[in-house]
Chain A
Amino acid sequence: MTEILNGEKIKYLEEKAKTIRISIIEMLAEAGSGHTAGSLGMADVFSLLYFHVLKHDPKNPTDENRDRLVLSNGHICPVLYSSMAHAGYFPIEELQTFRKFGSRLQGHPHREFLSLLETSSGPLGEGLSQAVGMALALRMDGKDNSVVCLTGDGELDEGQVWEAVMQAGKEKLGKLIAIVDRNNIQIDGSTDMVMPLEPLTEKFESFNWDVYEVNGNDLEAVNEAIRESEFVTDKPSVIIAHTISGKGVKEIEGDYHWHGKAPSKDEAEKFIVELSR
């Protein structure tokens, strides 16, 4: 059972989110390419997952009793790598190798390079199916680990996502939690313009999902949704997390042009000053 956040814990998680964000900017600037907006936007969710919600042990990464985290929108891996490093899975300095030849931290996550990952990802729409497979297999084995799958919102354009949504509802996968990064941007513009998703809550509900719609940059709100979802054991849960892309750096917040762009070294310096406040 996930615990309620008290003031002290919130402060701790906010600090972690700040550190995760600073590392994201540092690694992206060093790499010279990569996805800034979504990575910053999801830093609060990652802080909450890695430092509060997930049952996991960086000292024993293959522990079969760990919860599984599947990052379906692999392009926001800077936030994954940064969170893993700060949680102790690998040295923080290794983040500087991101996207470089020979690095374990590939441009999109590749488990053959970094075995600490639950899966490889990048091509969109495939993570939820894998999470469904994990949840089915864990249930067959009588295990009660959670499987958390993070997806983008633009990613929901992919038909395969809805194949998985349909099956998860059918199979009543109560230990599956999907978190949709609802930041309203995708490469070609706003999700409303490219391919409208609304009414999204109703879509998931009609597939027999337990649905929460919250401010994804509000640690307490996301935590409360996760806590509530844990009482629902006969349905998969989805948290539609409204986030602000680029969160923490005012001049790029909500700007879809920053989806796949990295800050220059000068910009990074400026952004880090702002994030450090």
Chain B
Amino acid sequence: MLNPKLFDTDVAMKSTRDGFSDGLLLAADENPNVVGLCADLTESVKMDAFKKKYPKRFIEMGIAEQSMASVASGMAAIGKIPFMASYAVFSPGRNWEQIRTTICYNNANVKIIGSHGGVTVGEDGGSHQALEDIALARVLPNMTVIVPCDAIEAKKATLAASRTNKPFYIRLSRTKTPVITVEETPFEIGKSSVVYSSDNAGVGIVATGTLLYNALVAAKELKESGISVSVLYLPTIKPLDTEGLLDFAKKCSGKIVSVEEHQVHGGMGSALAEFYAENYPVSMEFIGVKDQFGQSGKPEELIKHYGLDKDAIIEAVKKILKR
């Protein structure tokens, strides 16, 4: 079930980091053990509403992402449910080994929130555009990795994460993006959903994160030009919904286009390739950043430049159809 105004020009826009803000408040209202840690980016990563409502449950770390990961682990050892937030470049980037050893190796109940994922960070430039974080997070044992497609999904993912007892990585975006789902859309950790279905689809598009919108627009345009594709939304990159993926590939003629705002190397597409190669070999095209860093610009300019827009997806679909 998707937003009925999805393809309208006045579709509601909200960032996934704002959705996290809503979800963290719900989680904190529900469970007094939920605490927040932030490394001097409280407003930017949208932990400010939580800090305002629950000042005693908020820890200001200063610009110290490495210590933040281990402090969060220590708090989890006492029974807290820490949400630690920063930009994804710094967490899980800067503090990856602290996350590995003090969170994942301990299987500590810490939720890592990486905002500013992808090139849509925009003007701040490549240094601040995380394109490697999904790879960094999914390679760690015990970690669950979620990339929500819109603000509502980010809210639900945050709340769902707070109800588990395991390490999580949730990746967020800075920029406002279309609200794709509705409150009633079911969300379950580890489940994918077919969000655009065509009979006799010649290609299946698997998208994670906010680029799901471009995938849906591409699917619609392709259909109008007589090419049938289906779109699978995959919010949980780890653990993979293997059943959903298998079924989707079978129904989509064994041709898959992966779509993500991340390096092709090591990201969601790689995870799909690992799974399919072993279980149901498919032909694949990868929409993602191809071994490059980002740069300054408007989000839409960068999306186009790095080949993450709907035209690039359409092209990939046509290319794989010829194979």
Q: Do A and B bind each other?
A: yes
Number of interface residues of A (CB under 8 A): 31
Cβ A159 vs Cβ B59 within 8 A: no
Contacts of B68 in A (CB 8 A): 129
Q: Which of A70, A112, A129, A136 has the most C-beta atoms of chain B within 10 angstroms of its own C-beta?
A: A129
1/0 contact string of A110-143 vs chain B (CB within 8 Å): 1110000011111100110111111111101100
The answer to whether A164 has its CB under 8 Å from any CB of chain B is yes
The answer to whether A166 has its CB under 8 Å from any CB of chain B is yes
Contacts of A164 in B (CB 8 A): 67, 70-71
The answer to whether B158 has its CB under 8 Å from any CB of chain A is no
The answer to whether B281 has its CB under 8 Å from any CB of chain A is no
The answer to whether B251 has its CB under 8 Å from any CB of chain A is no
Residue in A110, A132, A159 whose CB lies within 8 Å of B71: A132
| Given contact pairs A123-B97, A137-B78, A167-B71, A130 touches B102 in the complex (Cβ within 8 A) | yes
Nearest-neighbour CB distance to chain B for A129, whole angstroms, equals 3
Contacts of A122 in B (CB 8 A): 101
Cβ B77 vs Cβ A126 within 8 A: no
The answer to whether B186 has its CB under 8 Å from any CB of chain A is no
Cβ A136 vs Cβ B75 within 8 A: yes
1/0 contact string of A141-171 vs chain B (CB within 8 Å): 1000000000000000001100110110000
State A152–B102 Cα separation when bound (angstroms): 18
Cβ B102 vs Cβ A126 within 8 A: yes
Cβ A120 vs Cβ B66 within 8 A: no
Q: Which of B35, B66, B67 has the most C-beta atoms of chain A within 10 angstroms of its own C-beta?
A: B67
Contacts of A137 in B (CB 8 A): 35, 74-75, 77-80
Nearest-neighbour CB distance to chain A for B142, whole angstroms, equals 9
| Given contact pairs A119-B77, A160-B66, A167-B61, A136 touches B106 in the complex (Cβ within 8 A) | no
State A23–B76 Cα separation when bound (angstroms): 33
Give the size category of B's interface with A. 20 to 34
Number of A-B contacts (CB under 8 A): 101
| Given contact pairs A112-B105, A140-B56, A167-B67, A130 touches B77 in the complex (Cβ within 8 A) | yes
Cβ B74 vs Cβ A134 within 8 A: yes
Cβ A133 vs Cβ B77 within 8 A: yes
Contacts of A135 in B (CB 8 A): 74
> 8 Å CB contacts to A: which residues of B60-116?
61-62, 64, 66-80, 82, 97-98, 101-102, 105-107
**Beta-carbon nearest neighbor of A111 in chain B:** B106
Cβ A130 vs Cβ B78 within 8 A: no
The answer to whether B265 has its CB under 8 Å from any CB of chain A is no
State A22–B107 Cα separation when bound (angstroms): 33
The answer to whether B57 has its CB under 8 Å from any CB of chain A is yes
Contacts of B35 in A (CB 8 A): 137, 140
Q: Which of A112, A119, A130 has the most C-beta atoms of chain B within 10 angstroms of its own C-beta?
A: A130
State A195–B206 Cα separation when bound (angstroms): 51
**Beta-carbon nearest neighbor of B57 in chain A:** A140
| Given contact pairs A133-B70, A136-B59, A137-B75, A110 touches B64 in the complex (Cβ within 8 A) | no
Contacts of B107 in A (CB 8 A): 111-112
1/0 contact string of A166-179 vs chain B (CB within 8 Å): 11000000000000
Cβ B64 vs Cβ A167 within 8 A: yes
| Given contact pairs A120-B106, A137-B79, A130 touches B74 in the complex (Cβ within 8 A) | yes
| Given contact pairs A120-B105, A126-B101, A160-B98, A141 touches B74 in the complex (Cβ within 8 A) | no
Residue in B64, B79, B80, B102 whose CB lies within 8 Å of A119: B102
Contacts of B71 in A (CB 8 A): 129-130, 132-133, 136, 164, 167
State A79–B209 Cα separation when bound (angstroms): 48
| Given contact pairs A136-B59, A140-B56, A129 touches B67 in the complex (Cβ within 8 A) | yes
Given contacts A130-B73, A132-B71, A138-B78, 9 further A-B contacts (CB under 8 A): A70-B74, A121-B101, A130-B102, A132-B67, A133-B74, A133-B82, A135-B74, A137-B74, A167-B64
Q: List 5 A-B contacts (CB under 8 A).
A: A120-B105, A129-B73, A129-B98, A133-B74, A137-B79
Closest 10 CB pairs of A and B: A133-B74, A129-B70, A163-B67, A137-B78, A130-B74, A133-B71, A163-B64, A137-B75, A133-B75, A134-B74
